[in-house]
Structure 1
Amino acid sequence: MQPTILAALAFLVFGVTVGSVKIVNQGNEALVERLGRYNRKLRPGLNLIVPLMENVVLEESLKERVLDTEPQEAITQDSLAVLVDAVIYWRILELERTFYAVEDIETALKNLVLTALRSQIGMMKLEETYASRGQINQALLQQLDGATATWGVKVTRVEVQQITPSRAMLESLEAQRAAENKRKADVSEAEGTVESIQRIAKALKEQPNSQTVLQYLLAQRYVEANLSLGQSANSKVIFMNPKDLTEGIADFIGGDEPNGGGDGEGPKPT
């Protein structure tokens, strides 16, 4: 019996010894709870704990980490929707605070930086956001530095990655740009038409045979218009007398000269 008891005792001592030894890697810290309450931190190297009474609940790195946020929508001061995201550089300073003060530190940091980022974007116009990334980064860092102090972490740097107009905003801007281009084209075409008419009118007034020239031009346009309309299968064309059209326009260009050939005096009695 004695050898069996000794073997059991030896096995028990070995198990207790192994269970009481905890090795913490360089750059990490570990938290120890005794009977369910926080007791102490374990530093890198070989550490001893009391079996059955103490338990290592967490071992975490103290190195700097990178946290990338998902693109989120924000509204600028001029009421334009943009998609923004940021990268957070952070590290743990007090592991016990990080573990006991917040449930999920990474989710908390993401939500905090996105809230602060929306606030900063909301104070700027769209054009200002593109040129003020450094200012936005600095403002975010100051806000996060104060807000995360109770969590035992340190935000060392915040970088805004992109500020992109939303799809709906891009479609709206494209529609506005197309409408503006069409408006400019219509104005340019109208101005060209007016200038062309003015030049023709001036040239006709200066020519002694202006009515003959006008009749030729109108006849040419009349034929071209009829040919163009005749190519349409569903078109309904109403033909006008070219002579009446020519005389009406000639009277308009000639001012108060009847048919472009009078001297301004009324008809003489016969």
Structure 2
Amino acid sequence: MFGFKVVRQNHVGLVETLGRYKREVNAGLSFYIPIFQKVRIVDLAMIPLSLKGYSVITKDNAEVQTNVTLNYHVTDARKFEYENSNSVESMVQLVRGHLRDIIGKIDLNEALGSTSKINADLAAAIGDLTNTYGIKVDRVNIDELKPSASITESMEKQIRADREKTAAIAKANGEARSIEIETKARNDATVSTAKAEAAATIARADAKAYEIKKLNDMLASADNKYFTDQQIQAFAALAESSSNTVVMSKEDIGKFSEIPVTAQVMNQISKK
């Protein structure tokens, strides 16, 4: 008496006789002897697997929670079923071990910013598991690297402190720049005022020097007649005043008496 077993597409059947592996059957209809034989079905399709909440420690002793997803498929059904009691769990342990080793060699900041590199290193480390577990990992990806709550809090405090520090520096630089501009403006105004006063002083000095020069030039070009005329005008003014005393030397009296106008003035003074 025979039994039959339908093996679906992308699956393989392992026929066991009295518990011992006998042969492998492909997709389709297969016959076996009930009671004495059993057909174990193995899925060869790609299978997704999610590894969540796995804790690892970075080089700087920071605890990080990781979420990893991978895709694998069975390449050797016989090894997968008979050479390991749980090939999938063995694969998971291998993945976690390599991940712990890779992240343990880098600091927290580098780990958080290098997930693509960690993915590549992990895929290279896992390689082809066919020879060991009859499995090939087609894709592995770090979905999340999350620091512990205490580290996250510390990082947030550090970020706030950095922002406050940056704001304080910017404010101080702004105030310093404002003071610099204000001081420069005052200095420029002081310099401009000093230059204007200096220019005015020079102009007044130049004007006074010009006045003195013109007067000296005029006096240098004047002859005795000019001074005599000035003296006569002085005597005339004296004649009109209330003064009646004139003191001068005998020589001067003799000189001025030669001038008719002077003599007339002196007579008027004597009459008073």
Counterparts of residues 156-167 of structure 1 (less than 5 Å): 156-167=138-149
Write the distance in 1 (CA, Å) between the matches of 2:171 and 2:35. Answer: 91
Is the CA contact (8 Å cut-off) linking 2:129 and 2:135 kept in structure 1? Answer: no
Counterparts of residues 82-97 of structure 1 (less than 5 Å): 82-97=64-79
**1:54 paired residue number:** 37
Pick closer, same or farther for the CA change 1:128–1:188 going to 2, 3 Å: closer
Pick closer, same or farther for the CA change 1:51–1:175 going to 2, 3 Å: same
**2:59 paired residue number:** 77
Q: TM-score, normalization: structure 1?
A: 0.57
Write the distance in 2 (CA, Å) between the matches of 1:149 and 1:107. Answer: 16
May I ask how many residue pairs the two structures share in their alignment? 179
Is the CA contact (8 Å cut-off) linking 1:27 and 1:44 kept in structure 2? Answer: yes
In angstroms, what is the RMSD of aligned CA positions?
3.1
Could you tell me how far 1:111 is from its partner in structure 2?
A: 2.0
**2:20 paired residue number:** 37
**1:137 paired residue number:** 119
User: Deviations for 1:5-52, whole angstroms, at most 9, x for unmatched residues?
Assistant: xxxxxxxxxxx24x2x12111111111111221111111011121333
1:153 matched to 2:131? The reply is no
Pick closer, same or farther for the CA change 1:173–1:132 going to 2, 3 Å: closer
1:117 matched to 2:124? The reply is no
Paired-residue identity, %: 29
Instruction: Give 5+ residue unaligned stretches, structure 2.
Output: 180-272
Counterparts of residues 1-270 of structure 1 (less than 5 Å): 16-17=1-2, 19=3, 21-56=4-39, 58-147=40-129, 149-177=131-159
Q: TM-score, normalization: structure 2?
A: 0.56
Write the distance in 2 (CA, Å) between the matches of 1:188 and 1:45. Answer: 75
* Paired amino acid for 2:60: D
Is the CA contact (8 Å cut-off) linking 1:67 and 1:106 kept in structure 2? Answer: no
Pick closer, same or farther for the CA change 1:148–1:85 going to 2, 3 Å: farther
Is the CA contact (8 Å cut-off) linking 1:85 and 1:114 kept in structure 2? Answer: no
Pick closer, same or farther for the CA change 1:35–1:76 going to 2, 3 Å: same
Instruction: Give 5+ residue unaligned stretches, structure 1.
Output: 1-15, 197-270
**2:247 paired residue number:** none
Write the distance in 2 (CA, Å) between the matches of 1:156 and 1:187. Answer: 51
Write the distance in 2 (CA, Å) between the matches of 1:64 and 1:105. Answer: 15
Could you tell me how far 1:102 is from its partner in structure 2?
A: 2.0
